[in-house]
């Protein structure tokens, strides 16, 4: 099985023009002998150019790692929401901002900003 340029672009999460640009600059695997198709494994494993490169064509293990990262990011968001709730409750209980910021592991400025926005 081989991939067309469009399938390669889809696997990398880029537009077809971007894919052709990568190929012309040697930043993607060269096409097979027919000049119009690519080896899917070569596309999946090729080291993408640029800091912001997409990994949509990555291995299943890499995809699972990305999924775990997304879960951790969601957990962090939930914890930040909880930090803000605790901060507001602490203020209502008369706690000082410095003590609460230290307990929450955030800066005093962050605590003050969160309270201002609450």
Q: Kindly indicate the confidence band of residue 58, based on its pLDDT and cuts at 50, 70 and 90.
A: low
- Same domain as 86, residue 111: yes
- Same domain as 46, residue 74: no
- Same domain as 110, residue 86: yes
Residue where a domain terminates, one of 35, 53, 71: 53
Average pLDDT of span 4-16: 91
- Same domain as 71, residue 49: no
Domain count, the chain: 2
Encoded tokens for 21: 């640009």
> Which range marks the domain in which residue 44 is found?
3-53
Whole-model pTM: value is 0.49
């Amino acid at each position: 099985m081989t991939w067309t340029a469009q399938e390669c672009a889809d696997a990398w999460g880029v537009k077809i023009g971007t894919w052709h640009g990568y190929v012309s600059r040697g930043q993607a695997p060269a096409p097979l002998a027919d000049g119009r198709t690519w080896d899917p494994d070569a596309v999946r494993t090729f080291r993408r150019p640029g800091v912001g490169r997409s990994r949509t064509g990555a291995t299943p293990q890499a995809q699972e790692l990305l999924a775990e990262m997304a879960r951790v990011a969601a957990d962090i968001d939930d914890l930040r929401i909880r930090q803000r709730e605790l901060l507001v409750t602490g203020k209502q209980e008369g706690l000082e901002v410095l003590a609460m910021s230290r307990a929450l592991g955030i800066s005093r400025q962050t605590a003050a900003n969160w309270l201002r926005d609450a």
